[in-house]
Chain A
Amino acid sequence: MARHGYKYSAGKLIRHGLTRGDWPRMWRRPEARSSYDVVIIGGGLHGLATAYYLAHNHGMTNIAVVDKGYLGGGGSGRNTAIVRSNYLTPEGVAFYDRSLDLYNSMAQDLNLNVMFSRRGHLTLAHTDSALRTMHWRAEVNKLQGIDSSVIDPQEVKKQAPSLDVSADTRYPILGALFHPPGGIVRHDAVVWGYARAADHLGVHMLQETEVLDILCEGGEGPDGKGAGGRVTGVRTSRGDISAPAVVNCTAGWASLISNMAGVPLPITTHPLQAAVTEPCKVFLPTVVVSGSLHVYVSQTDRGELVFGASVDPVGTYRVNGTLEFTEELAGHVLELMPGISKMRLLRQWSGLCDMTPDYSPVMGTTQVDGYFVDVGWGTYGFKAGPVAGETMAETIATGRDADLIAPFTISRFTEGDLVGEKGAAAVGH
């Protein structure tokens, strides 16, 4: 099989180290063509994976990935890199589990070490109702062959000894949903791997190119946009590009792009914040999530603790850190792990999330011919990147929604057929 671009190896590392020679660029900076077969808006993980699978699985290589900033500058470079498949609905479980399979072979497929660490994932229950949801999830998961079960506080202590499982805390830990195949991946490497492999197959990465409008004809709305019409191209800050297929992979900005095609979305944009501590000796073997306490934590290979929470309550496109977040985070984390009270926070940051009413994505074909969406990724789109790329590529190449994403098309909102994942995705991304 053709390797994607420059082959990385231990020998090359030593040679570059000794000679201090430059590493070859991972992707080119090409001049834009005036037309492409597919224009993908958004150079995050989803846009890049879609481009890669279009080229690799379907032989379509006349493709541009257009980004107003740089590749991975959105949520793909800001997330906390948790992957898992222990969702609540059978549709969700099947979908996310395929993504874990793709993550499993990714280092080989893309010839880049993405540092996938299947370290296990714990979702803590502090109330009877949370415990009930965990049992429900475990049963749905087991039926689909997913390794997932409810464990008691003593077993929780074995998996993560730093957790306080005593009964006299404010929010005692009553049990947890344990998902051994879950873990973390190096998110930047995943972005770079897909970008490099897609570039190698001929895809154009057009960075610092902002999409200003989507060009349509025949639709019922103004300028031929909207239902019944079809896409003819995009207007960008560097000129018009014609294309019969345009894909919206812009996550937090998805509504702005979709309104340009006359396709309103069931989405509101909220910031999600995260924070990281100074490094210390590795002591936390698993990913730990607490829905009731609105917090989750994992430890990187470098020893930093990475924390996240639920989205900021006020919808906005402005990302900045808030004191409310830091305060609540610290309080809740110390509730779980009193032992880390002396650790210092190093950094905190924020990214935009495209929240849907049912915590499931909006994917596939739309009421405008040639306009495809891969949005509504909220706080859980990193783990879905590979399968979203694979299924979106199939959908674009065949013009028919791939089986795995048929439950997630936009029509579910007019047909009242929502796929409720709140119980599995509100905090535990």
Chain B
Amino acid sequence: MIVVNCPHCGPRNSSDLRPCGEVTTRPDPATASLSEWRTYLYLRENPAGWVTETWYCRSGCRRYFTIERNTATNETRSSEAS
């Protein structure tokens, strides 16, 4: 079981939430070239280790937040980015 700590609802089984993937920097849609925009859409770091990611608290507070998770061990900790 992967335990995710929602800042509003507390620790929950990950199956109560929806993972939304690693946090990436969104280029300005008004100035980004098509290829910059597609890089943002599709390319991922996908590391085996600590990653900052977004989660959606689907069956709790229904808010989005970020946490850090180690993708090799599934340990989680709160994120600086949130």
Contact = CB atoms under 8 A, between A and B. Distances in A.
A313 B47 contact: no
A413 B46 contact: no
Contacts of B46: 255-256, 265, 267-269, 315
Contact of A314 (B14, B35, B38, B44): B14
Contacts of B79: none
Interface string B1-43: 1100000000000110011010000000000001100110111
A264 B43 CA distance: 6
Given A256-B48, A413-B38, A414-B35, A314 B19 contact: yes
Contact of B44 (A268, A318, A323, A416): A268
B71 A416 contact: no
A67 to B, nearest CB: 17
A253 B71 CA distance: 12
A357 interface: yes
A341 interface: no
Interface in A233-290: 253, 255-256, 259, 264-269
Contacts of A413: 38-39, 42-43
B15 to A, nearest CB: 6
Given A314-B14, A322-B1, A416 B34 contact: yes
A259 B45 contact: yes
A269 B44 CA distance: 10
Given A414-B35, A414-B39, A315 B19 contact: yes
B6 to A, nearest CB: 15
Contacts of B38: 413-416
B59 interface: no
A8 interface: no
Q: Closest 10 CB pairs between A and B?
A: A255-B46, A266-B42, A264-B43, A317-B48, A413-B42, A414-B35, A316-B71, A314-B19, A317-B72, A414-B38
Interface of A: 253, 255-256, 259, 264-269, 313-318, 322-324, 357, 413-416
21 contacts: A253-B48, A255-B47, A256-B46, A265-B44, A267-B44, A267-B46, A268-B21, A268-B46, A269-B46, A313-B15, A314-B74, A315-B19, A315-B46, A315-B71, A316-B2, A317-B71, A318-B71, A318-B72, A318-B73, A413-B38, A413-B42
